[in-house]
Amino acid sequence: MSGSGKIILHIDMNSFYASVEAAHQPELKGKAIAIAGNPEERRGIVVTCSYEARSKGVKTTMQVHEALKLCPELIVLRPDFTRYRQASKAIFDILRSYTTMVEPVSIDEGYMDITEVEGNPIELIKEIQDRILRELDLPCSIGVSPNKFLSKMASDMKKPMGITVLRKREIEHKLWPMPIREMNGVGEKTAEKLSSLSIETIGDLASADEIKLKVLLGINGLKLKNRANGIDSRKVDPESIYDYKSVGNSTTLPKDLTNQSELLKVIEQLSEKVSERLSTKQMIGYALQIMIRFKNRKTITRSLTLSHPLYDRNHIAEEAKGLFLKHWNGTPVRLLGVTVQDLADKSHAYKQIDLFSYEEDVKYEPVEKVMRELEEKHGKGILTRGMKSAKSVQNAETSFSKDFLDDHN
């Protein structure tokens, strides 16, 4: 690459969960592997699979029994989130050994800005890819371009173990002929709307009428048109994962309570508020904390860490009530608080949500709704990645002290 422009990388791990399992158990290498939330159940869903499985027709969201018909030798494994998180940390440690300008966007993908890193960029990129494979035994594809959008599109062009450079001058013949449904940020519903304007390819979007786009999709229509023309001003932001540390609600009770059913009802109400605010912020969490202030003003906090994501009000309430009952000694309670911590962007954590919901046999109705949406186009932006309405952003508080310690009645 030449010139004085930015050099942005999108690193996308190939069949991440399956690859981690194969790295952990070398005897699985070269075999057809699938990860499913509940492999013992015939109705279990394939969430990710190895390239060997894909070559036999196995696909994401396919039921396990269907996958086994296509590929009888398929090895179906339960997810091991601890193992995947450890591998993810090791990957990002390698990336950060080259520059601090690293932005994780999910457990298995992230951006790097190597503009200021000395040396030949292509040699550096090959070294990064080789190191991840050599040190962690994990394959990845890397997209290279002047901005995030083009790099994301480029990393999808050659898998596994691809390195694809996408220059702005190449978008007309490399990007524009692609179906609009393959564009990052365009889900099935958006694609259907665009089709009403006879927009079927990325090139059609690049030359579309701006007024019609704005009427159809609002400001997002103009953003998508800019992306289709290779315009994306978003910077690599190493701090973006720390935007939200927690989401919580607390309330001072009208009177000191000792009635267990009344206290549990309050926790349910707080959990519902927390769930609504997580939804507004498009976040999920992996830790839960409760606060109990007693009549004598003594205050305690108790927390737990979970392997599955928290975002549904029933699940939050269930865990919060269990934690409360474990630590409440019957003393009159003056204040209660519920907080979800260890947050991640829901749209970038769709794989974890997917695995969780099927592992729990779609125990909660809201999860089922999310899953139906996810299954329309798995991971292609049906949950808008990082895009929030102006109203949502306006209403979203980020300060922990303001967010949790203030009373919300």
Asked if 241 contacts 283 with a C-beta cutoff of 8 angstroms, the reply is: no
**258, 328 contact by CB (below 8 A):** no
What would the DSSP string read from start to end of 319-367? Answer: HHHHHHHHH--S--EEEEEEEEEEEEEGGG-HHHHHHHHHHTTS-SHHH
* 108 marked as binding residue: yes
Q: Is 204 known as a binding-site position?
A: no
* Cα end-to-end span (Å), the chain: 57
Give me the phi and psi of 35, to 5 degrees please. Answer: -105, 125
Indicate which residues carry an active-site annotation. Answer: 109
Half-sphere exposure of 127 (CA within 13 A, CB side): 11
Cα angle at 288 between 285 and 294, to 5 degrees? 150
∠ CA 146-151-155, rounded to 5°:
150
Place of tokens 């023309």: 229
Total residue length of the chain: 409
Indicate the Cα dihedral angle 219, 148, 308, 276, nearest 10°: -20
The amino acid present at 41, given as its one-letter code, is E
Q: Which residues are annotated as a binding site for Mg(2+)?
A: 12, 108
Q: Which residues are annotated as a binding site?
A: 12, 108
